[in-house]
Amino acid sequence: MMPQWPAVRHPVRTAAMIAGVVALVGSGAAFVPGAAPRLTIALALGYGATFGWYIVGLVLAPGLPAARWWWISSALPLASMVLIAIGAACCPAAVLRGWRVIGGASVSIIVVWLSAGFFLSALGWLSHVRHRRPVADA
């Protein structure tokens, strides 16, 4: 039997709760000496809201055909980070000499994957808005 994807009863509330928790944790950096409290709290709120909408959008998108390919492609950023870690453990001097190429390629892979995730998250939210189907009580 295939595992069931978690259902989100109230996606907007869930995204707001995730955003609030992330912003609460992130705003603790405002108490670091030398930090600008207003800027830190504003950045924490922005990051929390983005992270909340991103995660809930991904949870809303499993029925979309692109979701399966996005999850499968998550092996690419993982593999790039593992290869950097293995290279740094085996021959750190070579990794440091080629860091601009290695790091640039790895960051590019991660940025493309996260951008595709944002696009998929937006599709998940659009799918939810278009097909507002009630979730049955369990």
Higher pLDDT, 48 or 1: 48
pLDDT digits 0-9 by tens, 9-45:
778 888 888 888 888 887 787 788 888 888 888 888 8
pLDDT digits 0-9 by tens, 102-128:
888 888 999 999 999 999 999 988 888
Tokens 């369990």 -> residue: 138
Spans of all domains in the chain:
8-60, 63-133
Cα separations in angstroms, 57 against 34, 60, 118: 36, 5, 8
Give whichever of 51-55, 97-101, 126-130 has the largest mean pLDDT. Answer: 51-55
Percent of the chain with pLDDT over 90: 14
Question: Mean pLDDT in the chain?
Answer: 82
CA dihedral 36, 38, 41, 45 (to 10 degrees): -140
